[in-house]
Homo-oligomer: A and B are copies of this chain.
């Protein structure tokens, strides 16, 4: 069992350049719930809410790591009120995770990708979900690191099967 953070676009998914993002979120949520992972998000709308709803529907556990003044979306079981602004709570979210899954995303998502790497948490980029999840790849060192320290590998998942395999490896301590 892993603590898996899911990060990505907030706001309306309808504005996402990727049409299938809604169904990808649902598939990811189901997969995480079925494997019994604890799913953590920043508690807001967009990717966070869609994945959380799918996890919750499947009977899984959802933790919301919330910024100050926000009680989170309706699919949160455990609610951590950090008393902090968005960026600080994002850092706590990624630190608490064993693995981080990224879909699309603006600067807030980029911050979460960098923060995850800094803490040595493997990030799994879901290919073709847009935003920084795709854009970050062009500046990776050796296609997988964010600096010369090579703290941890960043993975690219081209399919749900890839995602499932990476999670399994992480659970076995292989990542």
Contact = CB atoms under 8 A, between A and B. Distances in A.
Contacts of A86: 118
Contacts of A95: 81-83, 85, 87
Given A91-B87, A92-B83, A96-B81, A118 B107 contact: yes
Given A87-B91, A107-B147, A139-B135, A96 B80 contact: yes
A107 B149 CA distance: 9
Interface of A: 3, 38, 61, 63, 65, 68, 77-88, 91-92, 95-96, 106-108, 110-111, 114-115, 117-119, 131-132, 135-136, 138-139, 146-149, 151
A11 to B, nearest CB: 10
A84 B79 contact: no
A96 B88 CA distance: 13
A149 B10 CA distance: 12
Contact of A110 (B38, B61, B107, B114): B114
A38 B88 contact: no
Contact of A147 (B38, B92, B132): B132
A119 B90 CA distance: 13
A107 B96 contact: no
B151 A107 contact: yes
B3 A106 contact: no
Nearest to A80: B96
B91 A88 contact: yes
A91 B107 CA distance: 14
Given A3-B79, A106-B149, 13 more contacts: A3-B78, A61-B78, A63-B63, A68-B85, A80-B96, A87-B119, A88-B91, A107-B118, A107-B151, A108-B118, A111-B118, A132-B147, A136-B139
